Amino acid sequence: MGRRFGAIAAAAAVIGAVFPCIQLLKGAGVPITSYFLRSEEELRSLRQLLTDGPAWAELESLSSQMTLWKVSSDTHEAAPGEDCLPLSAPAGPGEKVRHRFEFASRKGMSTRVYRIEFEGCKPREGDDRYSFQLARHGFGSDYRLGRDPLARGIEPLKVLRLALLDSGVAGTLIEALRQKDLAFTQVVREEDPDPVLEQYRFTVADGVPGETGTTVEIQYEVAYDPVNDSATFTRLLP
């Protein structure tokens, strides 16, 4: 699987240098058709995916060449013969979680995007951890232009991973998910008054912040240490 991931990254790097960025988050008046997270189980799955060695290496490589515009998740029924645990209801059918990452190059002019999807299954005979596989990858188009990407570069992707792994941040997101699906997430670099730590703003919301209909907006100030790959998260109150 590692060799196939490496080949994907190499191809994406070449094409990603050509096509400019787009924003895939929904603009005003456009219905939300995909979500960052819709359940606690999807959050747990994404946390594990971002610590999965081959998957993380691929995402890190892609982020070094292109800009990550969106991460979305959904839960769907497993195919017949796939020995996956149910996730939505204890007595329900086996289910899998799918995470889609959408990349484009760095300037906002094109609708050309590179999508890579991973699927996670909790085997019925296992240790409550997900087993992940690469589900699909390739280029496509998206005409739903917007404003800003999720993360520009490797460091913001690392901040996203650390945010989901932080027990306090994860607890806040789980509490929010019990009330609303979360459609938006973003990691933005801010001015760095500290000579050692990089400063970021981590935002999660149920819609595009500032637009009509968005009622949940969670923000953290992040002090990120790139040497030790660690971060401190401070919640910003509404």
Does this model's pTM top 0.75? yes
Q: How far apart are CA 80 and CA 174, in angstroms?
A: 30
Asked if 122 contacts 84 with a C-beta cutoff of 8 angstroms, the reply is yes
Short-list 108, 106, 45, CA closest to 71: 45
Q: What is the mean pLDDT of residues 159-180?
A: 97
Rg (CA), the chain: 17
* pLDDT tens digits, 77-130: 999 889 999 998 888 899 999 999 999 876 655 678 899 999 999 998 777 899
